[in-house]
Structures are given as structure tokens and as C-alpha cells.
Amino acid sequence: MYFYVPFVVKSALSFLKLLRPCIPALKYFCKSGKPPYIYIAYDIIAQDMFMKKIGKVIGFLFLGGLLLLLSYLAFDFISQRQIRQQMADKNFYDFEAKTLAGKTMSMADTKGKVVLVVNTASKCGFTPQYAGLETLYEKYKDKGLVIIGFPCNQFGEQEPGGSGEIQEFCQVNYGVTFPIMSKVDVNGDKADPIFKYLKSKLGGLLGSRIKWNFTKFLIDRNGKPVERFSPLTTPEKIEPTIQKLL
């Protein structure tokens, strides 16, 4: 997918070279303080040439960016097809995760319940969503809602602490009582199997990769992933969908 980077860089350098036609007029203006008409005419012509050429450069840059995007989407499609094949016979209840205390939690323990899986971080602009998630949990846990947080340090290194620090942060700052798992990766070869599975079932905008912290996956009472929400979708906006599943 990085094949077109040299092309984009070359186009940017060409853009800088386009400044040359303006240099003579600029030098004369600086020396004399008042350029003659011939230099004014030259400057207008140079600017016209400049604008035409800059249009071409912008077009090349746009084309380069488009090719990069298409390459990324093709790569994502191929890699996700392989993962989908691996996960074809899997069910959400087949997976396990480690809690912050190091204990194993089986997703089979959530059978018959609605589950919201969230990748979290303590130093993110979306971190205040912990409060909304806890409100949802307190409101609907007796009706069958389970929220599971998975701390992740892949986005801007916004979850640098260890298990003890993460647990203390969640409890002290937001009074979190829903289960928080040990820190995991959500993208790449080392991604946690749960997130590989969820991404294979629910793709996102511009590819299946998780784009940032507090991406949310909603699983129904039968263990079927039914909807994916971006970090911009707050817990409050998810509540009506959760109510329907409950």
C-alpha cells in the first residue's frame, strides 16, 4: 500500500518548483519599491501559469491519495477475508479473556445476555464515555446487559499503565463496576481473537480496522454481533438499540 508514496512526494516537490516564476518580479519589487508595468504584466502571466500548474499538482496529489486509499481497502479486504474464513465456525461464546486480576472470563458466561464490547483507554478524549457506559450498566444489568471493557494502547499510546493502574483509574474516576479485561491489541497480527472475530462480522467505515479508542460492538442474546458503533457514538445514543435487544 506504500507503493504510491514516492509519487505523492514527487508531486509535492514539483509544487515547490512552481514558485520559481514569481521570484524575478518579487526581487525587483523589493529593490525598487515600485515595479514597472512590464514586471506587473510578467507577474500576472506568471501567476496565471502558476495557477494552471498548481491545479495539475493538486490533481496528481488527489490521484495519489485515492490510489493509497484503494490499496489500503484492497489490503484490508484480503486480510479480512482470510480472518472470516478462520472465524467461520466460531461463535462469540467460544472465546475467553483475562481480567485485570488475571482471572479467565469465558464469553460463554454471557449466554442469554446482551453484551457491549468496548476497547477503552485512560488518557483519551473519549475517556469520559466511561461514565456513560457505567450508567448504562447500572440501569440495565438486572435486565441482562453486560458491558466488557478491553483496554488498548494502540492508539496514541493512551493506555500506558499496567493492570493495577487501569483498575484504580476506572474505579476512582468513574466508579466503573462492569468487567474490565487485561490490556490487549485490537488491530494487527497480535490482535485479541475476540476483536478479530468481531471485526470479521461487523466491518467499519473505510475498512474493518478499529480506528480509535471506544469503538463499540453490540452482541444480542444469541451471541450474534448485530451492530458496531464508532467512538463518536456516545453510550447515550446506543441506549435505544440496547433497549430493543433487551
Distance CA 237, CA 120 (A): 18
Quote the pLDDT of residue 125. Answer: 95
Question: What band does 2 get if pLDDT is binned at 50, 70 and 90?
Answer: very low
Residues 46, 104 share a domain: no
Bridge partner list, 206: none
Q: What angle do CA 191, 219, 93 make, to 5 degrees?
A: 65
Q: pLDDT tens across 136-150, in order?
A: 999 999 999 999 999
Question: What was the pLDDT predicted at 109?
Answer: 96
Q: Examine the domain organization and report whether 78 and 101 are in the same domain.
A: no
∠ CA 184-186-188, rounded to 5° = 110
- Find the catalytic residue in 22, 30, 124, 152: 124
Q: Locate cell 440496547: which residue? A: 242
Which pTM does this prediction carry? 0.70
Which CATH number goes with the domain that contains 96? Answer: 3.40.30.10
Cα distance between residue 74 and residue 60, in whole Å: 21
Number of domains in the chain: 2
Assess whether 147 and 201 both reside in one domain.
yes
Report how far residue 148's alpha carbon sits from residue 140's, in angstroms, rounded to the nearest whole number: 14
Per 3-state DSSP, the chain is made up of helix, strand and coil in percentages (nearest 5) of: 55, 15, 35
**77-110 pLDDT, tens per residue?**
555 566 656 666 789 999 999 999 999 999 999 9
Please say if 124 is a catalytic residue.
yes
Q: What is the pLDDT of residue 90?
A: 84
Contact (CB, 8 A) for 205 and 174: no
- pLDDT tens sequence across 11-67: 555 555 555 555 555 555 555 555 554 555 555 555 555 555 666 666 666 666 666
185 and 129 in one domain? yes
Nearest to 98 by CA among 149, 161, 31: 149
| Amino acid, res. 127 | T
Domain ranges, residue 167: 92-245
Calculate mean pLDDT across residues 182-189: 94
Same domain for 40 and 106: no
Residues 128 and 66 in one domain: no
Whether residue 111 sits in one domain with residue 218: yes
Residue where a domain stops, chosen among 55, 86, 117: 86
59 lies in the same domain as 116 = no
* Statement to judge: residues 52 and 145 lie in one domain: no
Q: Which of 43, 64, 86 is the last residue of a domain?
A: 86
Q: Which three cell numbers stand for residue 162?
A: 499496567
As a whole number of Å, the CA-based R_g of the chain is 26
